[in-house]
Structures are given as structure tokens and as C-alpha cells.
Structure 1
Amino acid sequence: MTTQDMLDERYGRRRSPARRWLIGGAAVLAVGVVAAFGWFTVQGSLDAVDVDTTSFAIVDEHAVELGFQITAPPGRAVACAIEAQDEDHGVVGWRVVEIEAADTHARAFREMIPTTAEATTGFVNSCWVLSSPAT
């Protein structure tokens, strides 16, 4: 008989198998929650698109030329919403540009935005990965 067994017998303590199952189940649940959180984090970053506006030029009162670069998953088509605003931050031009899939990670583009009035700025509002390839 071990010392622990003698102490347990002396003081009337019993080791419960249910407690061991409870601790084991809680540990398995905790590992599962951490694994699920890790998977969702990785899955979300696989389709992440980063975009930077590199330049804009006001062509005339009816157009803005916008330069931007994207960093997107290789082999995935991307769409970007590009926008032109006036001095009061009102949207005077807007369009969605679909970018075909490519093998490179980072690419640069120049696009024209038709406007309804003279713009003072142009920028990329947002970009996202398309579920089907752009045509």
C-alpha cells in the first residue's frame, strides 16, 4: 500500500472515477475550442486581400485615374470597389473592377473612374476574393 493510499484510507478520502472523466472531458473540450479558433483564424486569412492606393490623377471633370496595388492569394480572382469623391466627400464616381486570377501574390493596376462631377480624390474602397473566376 502506498503512502497516498494509507492517507486516503485514514482520512476517508476516495478517488472518484467520475471526477477523472470530468477533468479529462474538460481538457478535451478546451483543446477542441483552441483548435477551432485556430482553424477559423487561418481560414479567414487565406482569402485576405490587402490593397494600397498608390496614386490618383484628376484627368478632367468627368474622370479620375487611380493607381493601386493588391496583395491577394495566388490563383484567385479578386474584385475591388474603386471610388472618386468631391471636396465635400460626396461620391461622384464609383465602379467595381474584377481582376483575373494570376500566379503572382502582389500586382499593380491603373483604372479610370468615370465621374458625374469634378473629383478631388480617388481611392480603393474595398477588395474581396471572388468565389468564381472573373471573365
Structure 2
Amino acid sequence: MTTQDMLDERYGRTSSPRRRWTIGIVVAIAAVLVGLFAWMTIADSVDDISVDTTGFTVEDPRSVTLAFQISVPEGRTVACALEAQDEDHGVVGWKIVEYAASDVRARALLESIPTTAEATTGLVSDCWVT
């Protein structure tokens, strides 16, 4: 037995089949987790929606007109929650609207929101693919 063999045996640096299997399993699990994370990241961006509120007009004490732009993947139906708020940022109007699928990615839209009191602002709260 050589000096190197004796040192390896003494300090546990021998390579056993069990250790190789353990390392192989750990590497395989890590590869699966990286692949899963990559897939979840890509899948989330497929249905990515962007919304920009471009303006609002307080029509009267009972309604607000909201102008906004929405970018949706082509061929996908989308729904949006529109909101009107008073000067204390309390919600005084709420409306859910659905838009049919279109072959145009970006659209400019105009919606009227009924309110229970006079609003000072209007905004798009959230949008999602249906």
C-alpha cells in the first residue's frame, strides 16, 4: 500500500460506490429543480399582461370614465377590475369587465365606472387572462 493510499483511507477520501450514487442523485435532483424553476418562469411570462392608466374624467358625482391601454397575448380573453376612489383613497366604485380575444396585442380602452359618491380618481386595479 502506498503512502497516498494510506492517507486516503485514514482521512476518508476513498471513493465508494455508495458515495458516487449519492452524488449522482443530488446532481439529478438539482437538475430537475433548475428545470422546474425555468419552466415556471417561462410559463408565467406567456400570459403576461401590461396595463397603463392613461386618464380619467369625473363625469358627475355618480360616474367616472377611465381611459387605459392594455397589452394582452393575441388570442387570449382578458378580464380587468376597474376602480374609482375618493379623495381619502376609499373605493367608491368598482367594475369587472371582460374583453374578448383579439388578434391585436395592444388596445386602448374607455370604460365608465358607476360610483356611490363623487370620485377623485379612477384606475385599473388588476387584469388577468380568463
Q: TM-score, normalised by structure 2?
A: 0.87
Correspondence list, 1:53-132, <5 A = 53-130=53-130
Partner SS, residue 88 of structure 1: coil
- CA distance in structure 1 between the aligned counterparts of 2:112 and 2:70, rounded to whole angstroms: 16
TM-score, with length taken from structure 1: 0.84
> What is the rounded CA distance, in whole Å, between the counterparts of 2:63 and 2:25 in structure 1?
63
The alignment status of 1:48 with 2:48, answered yes or no, reads yes
Matched, 1:31 2:31: yes
- CA–CA distance in structure 1, aligned partners of residues 115 and 44 of structure 2: 34
Q: Per the alignment, do residues 60 and 23 of structure 1 end up closer, same or farther by CA in structure 2, a change over 3 Å counting?
A: same
Cα distance in 2 between the residues matched to 1:109 and 1:18: 64
SS at match of 2:67: strand
1:126 is matched by which residue type in structure 2? D
| Change beyond 3 A, Cα 1:88–1:12 | closer
**Aligned equivalents of 2:97, 2:7: Cα separation in 1:** 77
Q: Percent identity?
A: 52
Q: What is the CA–CA distance in structure 2 between the aligned matches of 1:122 and 1:12, rounded to whole Å?
A: 73
Per-residue deviation, 1:78: 0.4
Instruction: Report the residue type matching 2:75 in the other structure.
Output: G
Task: Specify whether residues 12 and 116 from structure 1 end up closer, same or farther in structure 2 by C-alpha distance, changes over 3 A only.
Answer: closer
Q: Which runs of 5+ in 2 are unaligned?
A: none
Question: Aligned letter for 2:99?
Answer: I
- Shift in CA distance, 57/96, structure 1 to aligned 2, threshold 3 Å: same
Moved over 3 A (4+): 5-14
Deviation at residue 15 of structure 1 after TM alignment = 2.7
Question: Within 2, Cα distance between the matches of 1:9 and 1:57?
Answer: 84
